[in-house]
Chain A
Amino acid sequence: MKYAIVGSGVSGIAAIEAIRSVDRSGEVVMIGDDPHGFYSRPGLAYYLTGELHDKALYPRTSDEYRQMNFRYVKGRVKGVLREARVLELENQTSIAYDRLLIATGAQALPLEMPGANLEGVFKLDHMEDAKRILKRARRGKTAVVVGGGITALELVEGLLARGMNVHYLLRGDRYWSGVLDEHESKIVEARLQVEGVTLHHHAELIEVMGKKNRVIGARLLDGRTLKCDMVAYAIGIRPRLELAIQAGLAVDRGILVNEFMQTNDPHIFAAGDVAQVYDPAVGRSVLDSLWGPARQQGYAAGLNMAGKTTAYIKAPPFNVTRLAGLTTTIIGAVGGGHDEDLVGIARGDSETWRSLPDALVAQSGFDVNHLRLMVGEQRLLGAVVMGDQTLSYPLQKIVSERIDISSIREKLLAADARIGDVVVEFWAGLRN
């Protein structure tokens, strides 16, 4: 059996591990166009802040790759000949397959405005982007950041950590309004201000100004200009669908797959950020840009490719991240608002979070430690935990394992309920 995997991200690596758990001798080839191969993309944020150096971001040694027993080809796949089951590479070579995994991930949406191509305009997508940013970041210089979600804040925090003055432009009233509620946005914004970030609401960048091809300023819709040496953006991502479209596979916002991660061509599978996967919780197929699901989907795809039929059932998506230094866990469906700073989803993000569940909201905590629960009829459908993370594990379990919470529902919804204590007690009871 010949297996081909396009993309060297976590879903591709997980697929190889799965294939090898079933088939020790089949031929496996991975083709990747990132010159840095497999590394922790979420870890790029910590590389920016200086908590890590770049070499620490590579999880595998060459010995470990050898043990996985596959061939790695650096390059870009430009076409799939489905009839012949052959991949065409940009370097004019071709690779035959019996089973193909498309794990091409997603990429940042480009900034489209005058000046977007100037030297000093950055996104944070790949290792190369992070290196370019660090080369340009200088203590005492000024950066303008636009966009939303986790990546925009990672840019803000990374540049702050490098001693830059940071302006963060928000088009609307508040930060990440599609996922956070008003109060949560305000908590994050207040902390950003304490850290020294200059926040601008209702501020829309319309032009990056330059001189000798370098950034010198940012022009806003209201006519103001801000002097700056760098513009960094995170306005959303888009699955890399080119191959799937060229191959005539069924696509919507991502590549459509069934529960076996199989596309409408039974020889071709898709997994990770590029795949659009059915979510039983919201009753439709959704996109995520989350490491955990990408790994799980890649693993499930690999097993199925090697003939071990295994269904992948999407769990409620969750992420633990730092928002302005405040650890925040987001689980399940919590959102619903409109976000003017993002087109679709960003990195470390899920479409599911944005669905407004049929639930009542219970909240507690008003400054640093904040908890919000989406209380359904019998289950918790989502949660946001900011600050103290004691409840993060229990809530991850209670939401994802669909534990019946009928016995505490009324307590959670009572006026002035201490919902944290109620959950702690409930969890202790479950464990006994």
Chain B
Amino acid sequence: MAILGLFQHDVKKHAVLASGLVAPNPARCVQCGICTFNCPVGIDVRAHAWRGEPVIHNHCLTCGECVMRCPRGSLRFEKTDLFAKRKP
């Protein structure tokens, strides 16, 4: 059956990035919600993708679940500015 996790290379990068965040590419996103559905801490990743805003959120574990599950490669890890503001 259909293979999940086609963007796993991005997820592996996560291991190297001690401080990474999830950044969306809104042009690729079709708001299907697989990211939000699979977020273990309940962040509405899809809403970030609509607005084109990186997931800067205190609860984000950067576990990579959303990046890995997105069927369209709309999400990837980016290095963070360590001093980026985090939402409470």
Interface residue ranges, A against B (CB under 8 Å):
10, 40, 42-43, 46, 49, 51-53, 56-59, 157, 160-161, 195, 291-292, 318, 320-322, 324-327, 329, 389-390, 392-393, 396
Q: Is the CB of B31 within 8 A of A46?
A: no
Q: Nearest Cβ distance between residue A349 and chain B, in whole angstroms?
A: 13
Q: Is the CB of A392 within 8 A of B1?
A: no
Overall SS of chain A's interface? mixed
Q: Which of B2-10, B54-62, B79-87 contacts A (4 or more CB under 8 A)?
A: B2-10
Q: Is the CB of B73 within 8 A of A52?
A: no
Q: Is the CB of B2 within 8 A of A157?
A: yes
Q: Is the CB of B71 within 8 A of A327?
A: yes
Q: Is the CB of B28 within 8 A of A40?
A: no
Q: Is the CB of B32 within 8 A of A57?
A: yes
Q: Is the CB of B73 within 8 A of A40?
A: no
26 pairs, A vs B, C-beta closer than 8 Å: A40-B33, A42-B30, A42-B32, A43-B30, A43-B31, A46-B71, A51-B34, A56-B32, A56-B33, A58-B33, A59-B33, A157-B2, A161-B2, A291-B31, A292-B28, A318-B27, A320-B71, A320-B73, A321-B72, A322-B2, A322-B6, A325-B3, A327-B6, A327-B71, A327-B73, A393-B73
Query: Number of B residues contacting the other chain (C-beta, 8 Å)?
Result: 25
Of the residues A53, A58, A160, A389, contact of B6 by C-beta under 8 Å: A389
Of the residues A52, A292, A320, contact of B34 by C-beta under 8 Å: A52
With an 8 A cutoff between CB atoms, is B14 at the interface?
no
Q: Is the CB of B33 within 8 A of A57?
A: yes
Q: Is the CB of B1 within 8 A of A160?
A: yes
Interface residue ranges, B against A (CB under 8 Å):
1-4, 6-7, 9, 25, 27-28, 30-34, 36-37, 46-47, 50, 69, 71-74
Q: Nearest Cβ distance between residue A298 and chain B, in whole angstroms?
A: 13
Chain A residues positioned under 8 Å from B72 (CB to CB) = 320-321, 327
How many angstroms from the CA of A195 to the CA of B2 in the assembled complex?
Answer: 9
Given the known A-B contacts A57-B32, A292-B27, are A389 and B73 also in contact in the complex, defined by CB atoms under 8 Å? yes
Q: Nearest Cβ distance between residue A370 and chain B, in whole angstroms?
A: 14
Q: Is the CB of A59 within 8 A of B25?
A: no
Q: Is the CB of B37 within 8 A of A157?
A: no
Q: Is the CB of B25 within 8 A of A52?
A: no
Chain A residues positioned under 8 Å from B9 (CB to CB) = 390
Q: Is the CB of A10 within 8 A of B71?
A: no
How many angstroms from the CA of A157 to the CA of B1 in the assembled complex?
Answer: 8
Chain B residues positioned under 8 Å from A56 (CB to CB) = 32-34, 36-37
Given the known A-B contacts A292-B27, A389-B7, A390-B9, are A43 and B32 also in contact in the complex, defined by CB atoms under 8 Å? yes
Q: Nearest Cβ distance between residue B31 and chain A, in whole angstroms?
A: 4
Q: Nearest Cβ distance between residue A267 and chain B, in whole angstroms?
A: 29
How many angstroms from the CA of A56 to the CA of B6 in the assembled complex?
Answer: 21
Q: Nearest Cβ distance between residue B61 and chain A, in whole angstroms?
A: 20
How many angstroms from the CA of A292 to the CA of B25 in the assembled complex?
Answer: 11
With a 10 A CB-CB cut-off, give which of B3, B30, B46 has the most chain A CB atoms. Answer: B30
Q: Is the CB of A52 within 8 A of B37?
A: yes
- 3 nearest A-B pairs in the assembled complex, by CB-CB distance: A43-B32, A42-B30, A320-B72
Q: Is the CB of A40 within 8 A of B1?
A: no
How many angstroms from the CA of A51 to the CA of B1 in the assembled complex?
Answer: 12
How many angstroms from the CA of A56 to the CA of B36 in the assembled complex?
Answer: 8
